[in-house]
Amino acid sequence: MNRTSVINGVLGVLLVALCAWLVLFAVRGDAAAPGSTKSEALASDYSDITRAARAETMAFLSVDHKKMDELTQRVLDGATGTFKKQYQSSVKSLKETAVAQESISKGSVGEIGLSEVDPDAATVFVAAGSKVQNKGTNGKVEDRSWRIKLSMVKKDDRWLVSQLEFVG
């Protein structure tokens, strides 16, 4: 075989593969283009919900009497609806208490479970913990465990917490 025959053979194989892909794309476009199947879209939604739930839980459990303005704003940025209103109304007393008690709390998220997921709403359960230190602990770090239920809604392509409850 000469060089021209080899090149023509390779080009022929590439042309057949391209035609097969074009036919597949025309018939089943959703299966031919990666990232566009229903299961991939659902996995992406679950990932977005989980990421937002983790971020809001971490923000909610974070307390540092020296940085309360920044920390409370993080919570408000991930909140909406009833939860945002309730949290906003308690920010002043939360800051005062944190400063008076010299409170520090560092949160951690262990597990996240999605209970109900719709295109614009989700119920999420979070197993979390925090290491708390304040005057009440005599400056010692204490571990705390939390089970939290988050009601989340999708607004402007962002998942936000509309309700936060501690559950047993």
Q: Is residue 14 part of a domain?
A: no
Per-residue pLDDT at 30 exceeds 70:
no
Q: What's the mean pLDDT when you consider all of the chain?
A: 91
Nearest of 74, 51, 82 to residue 151 by alpha carbon = 82
Strand 121-133's sheet: what is its strand order? 63-64, 104-118, 121-133, 142-155, 158-166
- Residue 8 binned pLDDT confidence (cut-offs 50, 70, 90): confident
pLDDT at position 34 over 90: no
pLDDT the model gives residue 33: 61
Among the ranges given (5-9, 60-64, 144-148, 152-156), the one the predictor scored with the smallest mean pLDDT? 5-9
Tell me the pTM: 0.78
State the pLDDT confidence band at 29, using cuts at 50, 70 and 90: low
In a domain, 152, yes or no: yes
Average pLDDT of the segment spanning 152-162: 97
Question: Residues, the chain, total?
Answer: 168
Q: Which domain holds residue 108?
A: 38-166
80-118 pLDDT, tens digit per residue, is 999 999 999 999 999 999 999 999 999 999 999 999 999
Q: Domain for residue 25, yes or no?
A: no
Per-residue pLDDT, averaged over 133-151, amounts to 96
Position 32 confidence tier, pLDDT thresholds 50, 70, 90: low
d(C-alpha 42, C-alpha 148), whole Å = 23
Label residues 129-168 b or e (16+ Cβ within 10 Å = b).
ebebbbeeeeeeeeeeebebebbbbbeeeebbbbbbeeee
Identify whether 33 is part of a domain: no
pLDDT-based confidence at 12, cuts 50/70/90? confident
Q: Which stretches of the chain are DSSP H helices?
A: 3-27, 29-32, 38-61, 68-77, 81-101
Identify the pLDDT of residue 46. Answer: 93
Tell me the mean pLDDT in the region 16-40: 73
- Per the structure, the count of domains in the chain is 1
CATH code for the domain in which residue 155 is found: 3.10.450.50
- pLDDT above 70 as % of the chain: 95
Is 16 part of any domain?
no
| 53 within a domain of the structure (yes/no) | yes
